[in-house]
Structure 1
Amino acid sequence: MVASKSIKLNTGVEMPTLGLGTWRSKPGEVEHAVEFALKNGYRSIDTASGYENENEVGQGIKKSGVPREEIFLTTKLNNPDMGHPEKALEYSLTQLDTPYLDLWLMHWPAPMTKEGGADKSIDWLDTWHEMERLYKAHPNKIKAIGVSNFSVEYLNRLLPNCEIVPATNQIELHPSCPQQEVIDFCVSKGIAVTGYSPLGSDGAPLLKNPVVVKMAEKYGVKPGTILISMHANRPNVNVLPKSVTNERILENAKIIDMDYADVIELNQIAKEAPFRACHPSWAGWGNLGFTESV
């Protein structure tokens, strides 16, 4: 396989294969990470209103000096804001100090109250319909809409009841959480897949997994390069490694070509060592169509 540099969304737009993730980045670190990443070749930045760092992301973009039109910028509608997406959209645009979003995602199919409980007065499908309305009404503000953390179960409810097929589905994706069923389903429906936590997130043992180490030795690279590159060697998949340190940001950008058989072997790790980094207690995991062990 030849690693891709971009994937084409169902809108016809090219989205970079590699992006900088900002989930769990500490306040005060995000601005520099975004600035440094953009100055060193990154052209896709991912954030979310729920991360509470949109303002820093916007400052990092400004300080980088990279023209806004060269950057693919993604943010997400927060769960407590699903009853008023238009207000939330304007807030994100203001925080990011940008006139438009390249991609706006529904963060979870899980409306919540500001106190953190489930908001049963809101149907997430109604929120999607409002996102569709805003997308059609404000093409100068929203270039594409998509979803995040959607299982096949939730996509099966969405697709027969939507006017606009999501451009992407952003999901946790690494060898201990391969979610192949979701990927296959999305590809069959023309939905690109974006993988977050490709290294398994903080504390995950993937960097020392013997299969990953074996692959790193085969290709003469570090284990992290294998875990990130495997997604760039899959059709319709892109990836969001996260870091706030200069060395790691540069290291994460070293995408290599891989034999597809090696990608398949890496995904077998989940059979022996399943792991999920994003397991929110508030979600009622089973109610979102996922299982704990993946």
Structure 2
Amino acid sequence: MTDYAQPSVPVTGGSMPLLGFGTWQIEESDAPAAVAAALEAGYRHIDTATGYRNQRGVGKAIADSGLAREDLFVTTKLPPDNADRVRETIEESLDQLGLDHLDLWLIHWPPNGGASPEVWQQLVEAQQAGLTKAIGVSNYSLDQIDELIQATGATPAVNQIRWSPVEFDRTVADGLRDRGVVLEGYSPFKASNLQDPTLVEIAEAHDADAAQVIVAWHVAHQFVVIPKSSNPDRIRSNAAGATLELSADEIARIDGLAA
């Protein structure tokens, strides 16, 4: 088993690996093999969601891995349509995953497009009950996060948003950092041109590929990144990107792709 160094950021209850394994669009039947390949490749942070309908498969891979629970960081998410059954949803997730607690539970999207402090308060209560170590949000704006904080006094540990070099927005990144919220990026490759000359040139300088450079860019900025693949070779390759060290000039050049 490959054990890559695990760069991480502190969150409530422990530390969150900057490299995570995304499971969006991985079918329940395919999840055990894909997650097992990720764990074998050294990933220790697994991201799923109630809406992905693959939590049982993810849980099977975790159970079969033989890894200690404290060595894993597991995230799942509350669908906005379940805003009226918050406690039931996390209990169902824990049952399907075969766990007694989550490391991170997120509101997947703002319910009905609004911040919904009353739903957030129920996540706070789930955290207080020991069902999850940390709580956060996904696809929230800075203003919506401020609304949650002002209404409840509880700051989300994480905001998971679509993010990549071409979507880099310093105002958003700095705004989250100033609030003490970890930025977690999903779909890191989707908006990126992996043939972009800047990415290709930097990749060649490191004997790497453009996808690995994108992973390394996230890690250099202390952004959590959750690349997703079902291909074992690609899963391993993406993980290796987390060990790639970019220079300050290379990071700045990649930042410039959003200009």
Question: What residue identity is the alignment partner of 1:210?
Answer: P
Establish whether residue 39 from structure 1 lines up as the match of residue 40 from structure 2.
Answer: yes
Question: What residue identity is the alignment partner of 1:163?
Answer: G
Question: What residue identity is the alignment partner of 2:186?
Answer: Y
Cα displacement (A) at 1:250: 0.5
TM-score by length of 2: 0.92
Q: Is the 8 A contact 2:148 2:154 kept in 1?
A: no
For 2:69, the equivalent position in structure 1 comes to 68
The one of 106, 113, 135 aligned to 1:145: 135
Cα displacement (A) at 1:260: 2.6
Cα displacement (A) at 1:127: 0.3
Structure 1 stretches of 4+ with a deviation exceeding 3 A read: none
Cα displacement (A) at 1:269: 1.9
For 1:100, the equivalent position in structure 2 comes to 101
Within 5 Å, which residues of 2 pair with 1:46-195?
Answer: 46-111=47-112, 124-136=116-128, 138-139=129-130, 141-195=131-185
Within 5 Å, which residues of 2 pair with 1:255-270?
Answer: 255=242, 256-270=244-258
Tell me, in whole angstroms, the C-alpha distance in 2 between the residues paired with 1:151 and 1:269: 22
Equivalent residue pairs, number = 253
Match of 2:246, SS state, is coil
Root-mean-square deviation over aligned CA pairs: 1.8
Question: What residue identity is the alignment partner of 2:226?
Answer: L
Cα displacement (A) at 1:40: 2.6
Question: What residue identity is the alignment partner of 2:117?
Answer: L
Tell me, in whole angstroms, the C-alpha distance in 1 between the residues paired with 2:172 and 2:163: 10
Q: Is the 8 A contact 2:116 2:148 kept in 1?
A: no
Percent same amino acid among aligned pairs? 35
Question: What residue identity is the alignment partner of 2:116?
Answer: W
For 1:7, the equivalent position in structure 2 comes to 9
Cα displacement (A) at 1:129: 1.0
TM-score by length of 1: 0.81
Q: Is the 8 A contact 1:39 1:66 kept in 2?
A: no
Cα displacement (A) at 1:94: 1.0
1:28-79 per-position Cα deviation (integer Å, ceiling 9, x unaligned): 2221111121123111000000111111110111122212221100000011
The one of 219, 228, 231 aligned to 1:232: 219
Tell me, in whole angstroms, the C-alpha distance in 1 between the residues paired with 2:103 and 2:8: 14
Tell me, in whole angstroms, the C-alpha distance in 2 between the residues paired with 1:88 and 1:205: 34
Cα displacement (A) at 1:211: 1.5
Establish whether residue 211 from structure 1 lines up as the match of residue 198 from structure 2.
Answer: yes
Tell me, in whole angstroms, the C-alpha distance in 1 between the residues paired with 2:187 and 2:252: 18
**CA spacing shift, 1:77–1:177, aligned 2, 3 Å:** same
Q: Is the 8 A contact 1:152 1:181 kept in 2?
A: no
Question: What residue identity is the alignment partner of 1:68?
Answer: R
1:115-146 per-position Cα deviation (integer Å, ceiling 9, x unaligned): xxx7xxx972210011112211x12x211101
For 1:277, the equivalent position in structure 2 comes to none
Tell me, in whole angstroms, the C-alpha distance in 2 between the residues paired with 1:104 and 1:12: 12
**CA spacing shift, 1:246–1:198, aligned 2, 3 Å:** same
**CA spacing shift, 1:234–1:4, aligned 2, 3 Å:** farther
For 1:278, the equivalent position in structure 2 comes to none
